Amino acid sequence: MSDLITIRMYNTGFGDSFLLTFPADRPRKVLIDCGMHQFGPGPFPAGEVVDQILADVDEPDGPRIDIVVATHRHRDHVSGFEHKSWDKVRVAEVWMPWTEHPTDPEARSIRERQSSLAQRLCLAIQQLNLDAAERDYRFAFAQNNLSNAEAMTTLHEGFKDVKRRRFLPHKNGKRTAIQPACLPGVEIHALGPSRDPKVIRDMKPPEGESYLRVTAEDGRMLSQPSPFPASPGWTRGEFDALLKELDCQELLNGFSAKTAAGISSEGVVDEMAIATSLETAVNGTSLVLMFRMGKAHLLFPGDAQWGTWREILDDTECHPMLRRTSFYKVGHHGSHNATPPEFVETFLPKGALAMIPTRPMTRWPFIPKAALLTALTKYGVEFARSDEPPSAPSRFTCQERNGKTFSVTVEIPV
Amino acid sequence: MRASSYPFPTRRSLKIFAFDPMLGRVPLHRITIDVTHEQLRPGPMGSRLTILDYDGVRGRYYEPVNLDDPALLLQDGLDPTEADPRFHQQMVYAVAMKVIENFEVALGRRIHFYRRKPLLLLPHAFAGANAYYSSRRQAILFGYFSADAAKPGSNIPGQNVFSCLSQDIIAHEVTHAIVDRLRRFFKWPTNPDMLAFHEGFADIVAIFQHFSFPEILNHAIQETHGDLRRPTPLIELAAQFGQATGKGEALRTALDRPDAAASNNILEPHQRGSILVAAVFDGFFTTFQSRIQDLLRLASGGTGRLPEGYLHPDLVNRLAQEARATAQAVLRMCIRAFDYLPPVDVTFGDYLRALVTADYELNPDDRSGLRRNMVEAFRVRGIYPHGVRSLAEDSLLWERFDAGATCPDYVISELNNRLLSEAASSSRSSTRDQVAEEKLGRREEKTLNYLARELRKKAWESFDKLDLASPHTVRTNLVSMHPVFRIGQDGQLLVETVIQFVQERRRSKSSYGGVAMRGGSTVIAQADGRIRYVISKPLDSTDLRPEKAREGKEREMRFESFLRDFDCTDACQIWRDERYHQERLVRGLTLAMVDRRGAG
């Protein structure tokens, strides 16, 4: 029996996909996420990556995964599950954040709010009067939030022989470690998403019909009826004449037609700002898992945001295990706000290893955030990116295909 | 022969919805308020406010109301209705004037907006569930929207909801505009309290304005059996608005569960501001309770416990009187504190010190206990001033200035000019000359620049005594100066001067996300130029005394850590370019942004 945990990060471009292999009587496997972003695909087609995963988990009697984890419902984390081939994979347990619980009322309200906003957002963006490239970009950005029905169906109903689906953390049981039968010798702490109402609030993007409807017609609702049926209002010319009649033309002093146009455009809701807050809200539902086996501590925070992180960092019970982190999956493709500087500076120990699933994006120059990479190096954390072969010599090994990085692997001693 | 003229009226009565149209369905909630009378042109256009009803959604203008039309004068304006935009204009005018009046009474001087121009209010500017003050436009933009289709609360799904018909929203936004006028650098955040202060203060003014409506107050006291902490519209903000946006309850309330740790954890400006609101309301409530003890004993045969059932109307009247007087005192205390605030980088703790100092100056012996209760209410919410050793009164007071500096003569003589023009302008209320006013406004601005130049040129030796770096090393501005009048304990009229100096470290904007590292001092001087208080936020400069320079260094570090916390919460940065990054604090965290987001 080997005493190493293997972590394999597949290069899915702007997306996450990790296969963990734990030593036991037979190697036990945990798959964390499988997805790629519409706007930032990796160098290999999604199907090819999925096929490789299936090959990697193959056993004499067919492919078998002990636990499948979907950290949150963003496409760049789950889109791979829409493939038909998952039907033949035996999975003992499927883990999702509690916000995916089918019947929990709070979870449903969060999901409904997120997905109805995503739908309206996509509709609104399609109707925008923009050049095609810009519209496609915005659409892809918003679409990342659309609940990916096929992939979610796989997670909720698919796979073969699923014994249990867990929605974590359990109510009131947050700090209790889970010791799943299918993963002997491993203890797992679900540290997020939070159930604290204050943090949950951040998972709910603003709701309300009023919010988006406006953008559909480029900020104007000229076809809308006047809110005052008896007073339809006057055009500028008519109003000028009216003021003359009332002898109060100075009412319009300094209020040029241009100022008026400016006021009209100030009211326009910026759909990208809404898309951003929705993106953040969905990231906020990320399942945060700490796997413990022997002295190995593997932290997979999904794309957890500030609220969840704050709660974890403020909880002194979490501090000892955070300080022993031996592997860290860098949150949200290396963005500045998915890894608190405080975590790198005071918790992540020297000698820890990290992996960043990412790729450079011309539109998003701050992914991955240079300051974060510098800080990791400064605090003695060795890391590998999914899109580049690790700098030699390194504890990471890289599997290439057609001259491009296909995956990166690392072994963590137990 | 000339016919004799009639005395010019001093008050104008106008009808409004006490809260908003939703609550206004109850006849009680349609009330008449009175505001300072001034001659108005259609709009209404007055000396401080212009209401221009341009509908930015539809690109149309609505007819302006003429409140000086005899027909309207005889019936206190139009009856409250959602259907006539002219009533909307009337309500916006009436409530906004009431807020301005509250500030003027408390501060003892007139409020002028930028260059003495009227503030522009657009009651139907855009489609959206919010309203905001735009400093750049010197305007308040109100939105309107359809109530949520699925969860409209007490509204009809899809019904038009007008933010300009909510008393609270008008008062809130006008307060933003006035606060921005009094302390123009408070809108650029350099610590987590600043925007929260803006928001919280705006809510305080809105809530305490409720207490000036006798009908509403009497009703609330009967309803709550004298316990004003029980939920009523009196202590809630923007009920219709909150319900129409699907929140299912009022936007915010004055109540909280005091938590000393909250001030460390809550950063969103509205929520953080609510801590301030709750503290002030708590101070109010405790004081009100102690003021009505005797009434309760009288009414209960000495037990102090009121019997079940309806209260006697006389008792209700007396309780309401006490509530109104206490609320009035609290509001004045809160507003008066402004003159004792530093010009930049304000914190809740600074505000507590200003509150205590301003009130101490006015009534040293604190007979009502209001000041004591206020300090206690702040304490239980974890609000302590920076660098104060205890919460005893004398350590909360700003330190008296004893370095013996005086203002130079040329500053004093300009102050005298302002005194005269102020006195003249208050007697001009009957006939208004807007052109002359604006000319005066421009001249005042020029004088400030001139004085700043003079002070620089003559290298006024007292700069370091005022905790200011030498004007040769940092950009130094005189941002405002104005006289303050108050009646001393001996009944004598005391005239004081408040001057704000602001210094800016050059080229510091790009390193702090678009907000410059500023320092500054509020200087309070007697009429003869002798300086009484210097309330400062020093820069880190070798020109200063070492302990002040150290304070400047600490402020810089706090600013950096604030920016870092902001970065952690600001998800926008991921998706934006270099330019956004350099200006992220001014673009990601403005009052307008905060108000737009905060409605949800």
B58 interfaces chain A, CB cutoff of 8 Å = yes
Give the phi and the psi of residue B596 in degrees, each rounded to 5. Answer: -65, -45
Q: What is the dihedral of CA A40, A43, A48, A49, to 10 degrees?
A: -60
d(CA A310, CA A295): 25
pLDDT band at B21 (very low <50, low <70, confident <90, very high): confident
Give the best residue of A213, A244, A266 to mutate against chain B (max B CB count within 10 A).
A266
d(CA A122, CA A303): 22
d(CA A266, CA B541): 41
d(CA B162, CA A332): 40
Question: What does the block give as tokens for A166?
Answer: 């867990």
State CA B472 to chain mean position distance: 34
Cβ of A235 within 8 Å of Cβ of B577? The answer is: no
Compute the average pLDDT of residues B158-171: 88
Q: What is the pLDDT of residue B425?
A: 64
Q: What is the pLDDT of residue A217?
A: 38
Cβ of B60 within 8 Å of Cβ of A277? The answer is: no
Of A22-31, A331-340, B462-471, B489-498, the range with the lowest mean pLDDT is: B489-498
Question: What does the block give as tokens for B219?
Answer: 């009703």
Angle made by CA atoms A113, B152, B158, in degrees to the nearest 5: 100
Distance from CA of B91 to the nearest CA of A (A): 16
- DSSP at A347: I
A103 interfaces chain B, CB cutoff of 8 Å = no
Question: What does the block give as tokens for B329?
Answer: 């005192």
Three-state secondary structure call for residue B280: helix
Angle made by CA atoms B94, B99, B101, in degrees to the nearest 5: 90
β-strands B49-51, B119-127 pairing? parallel
Cβ of A214 within 8 Å of Cβ of B128? The answer is: yes
Burial class for B441, CB neighbours closer than 10 Å (0-12, 13-18, 19+) = middle
Distance from CA of A321 to the nearest CA of B (A): 23
Distance from CA of A182 to the nearest CA of B (A): 37
SS3 content of chain B, % helix, strand, coil (to 5): 50, 15, 35
* Chain B, window 505-544: residues with a beta carbon less than 8 angstroms from a chain A beta carbon: none
Compute the average pLDDT of residues B246-252: 66
Give the best residue of B60, B161, B597 to mutate against chain A (max A CB count within 10 A).
B60
Burial class for A75, CB neighbours closer than 10 Å (0-12, 13-18, 19+) = buried
Mean pLDDT score of chain B, rounded to an integer? 86
A279 interfaces chain B, CB cutoff of 8 Å = yes
A360 interfaces chain B, CB cutoff of 8 Å = no
Q: Which residue has the tokens 């020029």?
A: B446
Which amino acid does the sequence have at B234?
Answer: L
CB contact set of A137 (below 8 Å; sequence gap of 6+): A39, A363
Three-state secondary structure call for residue A122: helix
Give the best residue of B575, B577, B581, B595 to mutate against chain A (max A CB count within 10 A).
B575
Distance from CA of B228 to the nearest CA of A (A): 27
Three-state secondary structure call for residue B244: helix
Report chain A residues whose CB lies below 8 A from the CB of B147: 209
Q: Write the Ramachandran bin of A79: left for phi over 0, alpha for psi from -120 to 50, otherwise beta.
A: alpha
A222 interfaces chain B, CB cutoff of 8 Å = yes
Compute the average pLDDT of residues B221-249: 75
Give the phi and the psi of residue A272 in degrees, each rounded to 5. Answer: -70, -35
Compute the average pLDDT of residues B52-68: 92
Which amino acid does the sequence have at A375?
Answer: A
pLDDT band at B148 (very low <50, low <70, confident <90, very high): low
B573 interfaces chain A, CB cutoff of 8 Å = yes
CB contact set of B464 (below 8 Å; sequence gap of 6+): B470, B543, B544, B545
Three-state secondary structure call for residue A94: strand
Q: What is the pLDDT of residue B46?
A: 92
d(CA B105, CA B86): 28
A141 interfaces chain B, CB cutoff of 8 Å = yes
d(CA B376, CA A55): 68
CB contact set of B27 (below 8 Å; sequence gap of 6+): none
Question: Are A151 and A78 within 8 A, CB to CB?
Answer: yes
Could you say which of 3.10.170.10, 3.20.20.150, 3.90.420.10, 3.40.50.300 is the CATH number of the domain covering B11-182?
A: 3.10.170.10
State CA A396 to chain mean position distance: 25
Distance from CA of B291 to the nearest CA of A (A): 37
CB neighbour burial string for A148-165, b if at least 16 within 10 angstroms, e if fewer: beebbebbeebbeebeeb
- Helix axis angle, A105-126 relative to A132-143, nearest 10°? 170
Distance from CA of A167 to the nearest CA of B (A): 26
Residues of chain B with pLDDT > 90, as a percent, come to: 44
* Chain B, window 173-192: residues with a beta carbon less than 8 angstroms from a chain A beta carbon: none
- ipTM associated with this complex: 0.83
Angle made by CA atoms A225, A228, A233, in degrees to the nearest 5: 80
Q: What is the pLDDT of residue B150?
A: 64
The sign of the dihedral angle between the CA atoms of B481, B485, B490, B492 is: positive
Q: Is the pLDDT of residue B428 over 80?
A: no
A with B: how many residue pairs have Cβ under 8 Å apart? 181
Tens of pLDDT along chain A (414 residues) come to 568 999 999 999 999 999 999 999 999 999 999 999 988 889 999 999 999 999 999 999 999 999 999 999 999 999 999 999 999 999 999 999 999 999 999 999 999 888 888 888 888 787 777 788 888 888 888 888 887 889 999 999 999 999 999 999 988 765 679 999 999 999 999 998 988 887 887 787 765 444 454 443 334 444 467 888 888 889 999 999 999 999 999 999 889 988 988 887 776 667 777 888 888 889 999 999 999 999 999 999 999 998 899 999 999 999 999 999 999 999 999 998 899 999 999 999 999 999 999 999 888 888 899 999 999 999 999 999 999 888 777 899 999 999 999 999 999 999
d(CA B361, CA B333): 11
B248 interfaces chain A, CB cutoff of 8 Å = no
Of A210, A242, A251, the CB nearest to B128: A210
DSSP secondary structure string for all residues of A366-404? TSS-HHHHHHHHHTT-EEEETTSPPPSS-SEEEEEETTE
Cβ of A224 within 8 Å of Cβ of B43? The answer is: no
Distance from CA of B457 to the nearest CA of A (A): 37
Q: Which residue has the tokens 């033949």?
A: A88
DSSP secondary structure string for all residues of B486-534? EE-TTS-EEEEEEEEEEEE-TT-TGGGTT---EEEEEEEEETTSBEEEE
Report chain B residues whose CB lies below 8 A from the CB of A365: 577-578
d(CA A335, CA B17): 48
Half-sphere exposure of B88 (CA within 13 A, CB side): 28
CATH 3.40.630.30 holds for A4-207+273-413: no
What are the sequence ranges of the domains in chain B? 11-182, 205-396, 409-569
β-strands B160-162, B139-146 pairing? antiparallel
Query: Residue B33: beta bridge partners?
Result: B14
pLDDT digits (tens, 9 = 90+) for B403-414: 777 777 777 777
Cβ of A260 within 8 Å of Cβ of B575? The answer is: no
Of A205, A246, A335, the CB nearest to B42: A246
Q: What is the dihedral of CA A58, A62, A64, A70, to 10 degrees?
A: 90
**Continuous segment of H or E residues that includes residue A300:** strand A296-300
Half-sphere exposure of B5 (CA within 13 A, CB side): 4
Cis check: omega of the bond before A368, within 30 degrees of 0 = yes
The sign of the dihedral angle between the CA atoms of B32, B37, B43, B46 is: negative
Q: What is the pLDDT of residue A209?
A: 40
Question: Are A30 and A53 within 8 A, CB to CB?
Answer: no
Give the best residue of A209, A305, A339 to mutate against chain B (max B CB count within 10 A).
A209
Give the phi and the psi of residue A234 in degrees, each rounded to 5. Answer: -115, 155
d(CA B494, CA B67): 38
Of A207-221, B58-72, B313-327, the range with the lowest mean pLDDT is: A207-221
DSSP secondary structure string for all residues of A180-204? -TTSTT-EEEEEES---HHHHHHHS
d(CA A189, CA A184): 15
Choose among B297, B285, B373, B353: nearest CA to B323: B285
d(CA B23, CA B36): 26
